[in-house]
Structure 1
């Protein structure tokens, strides 16, 4: 890795938590210089503008979240076990290295909906990839006779994602962690019912 690549990676690592907590509009150049200890000129010598830093920070935060789930799912031998990873990780999210500020998809989706088309594209891509990953697990479960062939993998995947994101939003708004646990139990029931149908 070249010196320039190392500097870029450093800037992304240090600013990613700020963008995730404060959002694109709320993150100032002063926040970025304070976090990195670099000058404005040094930051913009490595990135053409704030947008470029924000997009890279989103990718960094999403990669962090995806790695948590990939690591946990790789330890499961069944499709049901892999789906329940979402429940167990979110019920115990404090023991996982989530990005500061929580879920980057939720945080960015709310802010970038109408104001930042490039960030919005990243959010959509993150949701679609997440949906496709869950669909693949469900399809594997159907193939292995864990789940009935009558289930609609896309419907289940979207329900799981919407329930998780809604649970995270309600928990962030109220500050009540037990709400997230209660909502995750709904996903647990959905997955258990899915496997019991077979």
Structure 2
């Protein structure tokens, strides 16, 4: 990796943390200069504008998010164990987020709702990946006889994601992990009791 590529990567990583903590709208170019230690020209040498940096920073943050899921898939072969692993890994984001500042998907989805259509599109793509991953796990589990045949994969994906993201939001809002703990207990029971074929 060249020195220029190293600098660009460093800017993206530091901007990802800044944006994830303070939002894209709430972070100025001066803030980016402060966290990177670079002058405006040094930043714009690598990015056309703040929007381009924001998109690349979001992609970096979501890649960190996906790496956690990749570990779950690698460490678990059974579909039920994979679902429980996803619940466990996302629950850890309350205290150990993939990028400083919380869940980048939740933060970006809320902030970009109407204000930033390109970021909103990126957040939708990231959510599509997560939903698709859960559906894939469930459908494979149905084929293998690990998950009940009548289970609706899209419905389960919605329930898991909405419950986990809502619990992250409440835990952050009240600075109390009890909300996530309750959600995890409920989701684990839901997966084992309602989805799993009796072993």
TM-score, normalisation: structure 2: 0.94
Give the whole-Å Cα distance in 2 for the aligned partners of 1:90 and 1:109: 16
Cα contact 2:94–2:102 (8 A) shared by 1: no
Cα contact 1:87–1:185 (8 A) shared by 2: no
- Name 1:4's counterpart in structure 2: 4
Output the aligned Cα RMSD.
1.6
Cα contact 2:20–2:99 (8 A) shared by 1: yes
- What whole-Å deviation, never above 9, does each CA across 1:163-195 have from its counterpart, x for those lacking one? 111111111111111111111112111110210
- What whole-Å deviation, never above 9, does each CA across 1:70-123 have from its counterpart, x for those lacking one? 112210120000000122223444775621011111001111000000000010
Higher-helix-fraction structure: 1
User: Which ranges in structure 1 are unaligned for 5 or more consecutive residues?
Assistant: none
- What whole-Å deviation, never above 9, does each CA across 1:114-154 have from its counterpart, x for those lacking one? 00000000100000010000001001110110111111111
Are residues 1:138 and 2:133 paired? Answer: no
Give the whole-Å Cα distance in 1 for the aligned partners of 2:7 and 2:63: 19
Cα deviation, residue 33, structure 1: 0.8
Are residues 1:103 and 2:103 paired? Answer: yes
User: Which ranges in structure 2 are unaligned for 5 or more consecutive residues?
Assistant: none
Cα contact 1:138–1:153 (8 A) shared by 2: yes
Give the whole-Å Cα distance in 2 for the aligned partners of 1:22 and 1:184: 27
Cα contact 2:135–2:154 (8 A) shared by 1: yes
Give the whole-Å Cα distance in 1 for the aligned partners of 2:116 and 2:156: 29
- Name 2:55's counterpart in structure 1: 55
- Name 2:184's counterpart in structure 1: 184
TM-score, normalisation: structure 1: 0.94
1:46 counterpart SS class: coil
Equivalenced residues, count? 198
